[in-house]
């Protein structure tokens, strides 16, 4: 994420939301595999409840740690200009370094999983990235339509995108990710 900002030379909220979604998805996926391995491949009620609890905590920690990372990048490269006019500066100052520690802790299972199952994870993430790249392509067109043509044509294009997801076979497999992206998309536009 930081490398992308440096290469682009500007702060891009769309890139941030996309990376946040990818970080959260991979973190939850790594914990699902980790619990499955610890239980010998069979999911018990304990592993399911533990997975849900830890997954929720890691999702929150991932969001907060990325927000802190955004603030650090903004401070280094832009002198804090991006966050000076944003309400996000207050929770950043309030929680501080604790979120960075939380972000490192949330990344630990993913690092372990990378170490023991590198090839398998690369294959799975490659398929996921192919699907996400298709989604990003059509969503970038949708965002441009919202700003260039107005809300009516933008809403129409959103339905067209959903139909395209259906045709590509994405909607059935990754419908939860699509809804999360659409929610973040609307938050980004409203912000």
**Residue for token pair 């023991």:** 116
Specify the pLDDT at position 45.
47
Specify the pLDDT at position 25.
60
Name residues of the chain where pLDDT drops below 50: 1-9, 41-47, 49, 97, 170-171, 190-191
Q: What is the pLDDT of residues 3-38, one digit of tens each?
A: 444 444 455 555 555 555 556 665 666 566 556 655
Q: What share of the chain is helix, strand, coil (3-state, %, to 5)?
A: 85, 0, 15
Of the candidates 57, 54, 60, which has an alpha carbon nearest to the alpha carbon of residue 20? 60
Specify the pLDDT at position 4.
45
Burial-class residue 151 by CB neighbours within 10 Å (0-12, 13-18, 19+). Answer: exposed
Q: ∠ CA(155), CA(10), CA(182), 5° rounding?
A: 25
Specify the pLDDT at position 13.
56
Specify the pLDDT at position 21.
59
Phi-psi domain of 79 (left: phi exceeds 0; alpha: psi -120 through 50; beta: other): left
Specify the pLDDT at position 2.
46
């Amino acid at each position: 994420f930081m490398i992308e900002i440096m290469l682009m030379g500007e702060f891009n909220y769309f890139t941030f939301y996309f990376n946040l979604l990818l970080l959260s998805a991979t973190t939850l996926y790594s914990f699902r595999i980790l619990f499955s391995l610890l239980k010998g491949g069979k999911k018990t009620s304990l592993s399911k409840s533990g997975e849900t609890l830890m997954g929720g905590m890691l999702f929150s920690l991932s969001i907060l740690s990325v927000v802190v990372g955004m603030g650090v990048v903004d401070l280094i490269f832009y002198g804090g200009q991006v966050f000076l006019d944003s309400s996000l500066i207050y929770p950043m100052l309030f929680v501080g370094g604790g979120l960075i520690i939380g972000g490192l802790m949330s990344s630990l299972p993913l690092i372990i999983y990378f170490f023991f199952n590198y090839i398998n994870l690369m294959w799975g993430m490659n398929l996921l990235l192919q699907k996400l790249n298709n989604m990003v392509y059509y969503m970038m067109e949708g965002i441009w339509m919202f700003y260039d043509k107005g809300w009516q044509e933008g809403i129409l294009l959103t339905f067209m995108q959903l139909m395209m997801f259906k045709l590509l076979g994405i909607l059935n497999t990754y419908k939860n990710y699509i809804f999360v992206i659409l929610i973040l998309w609307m938050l980004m536009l409203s912000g």
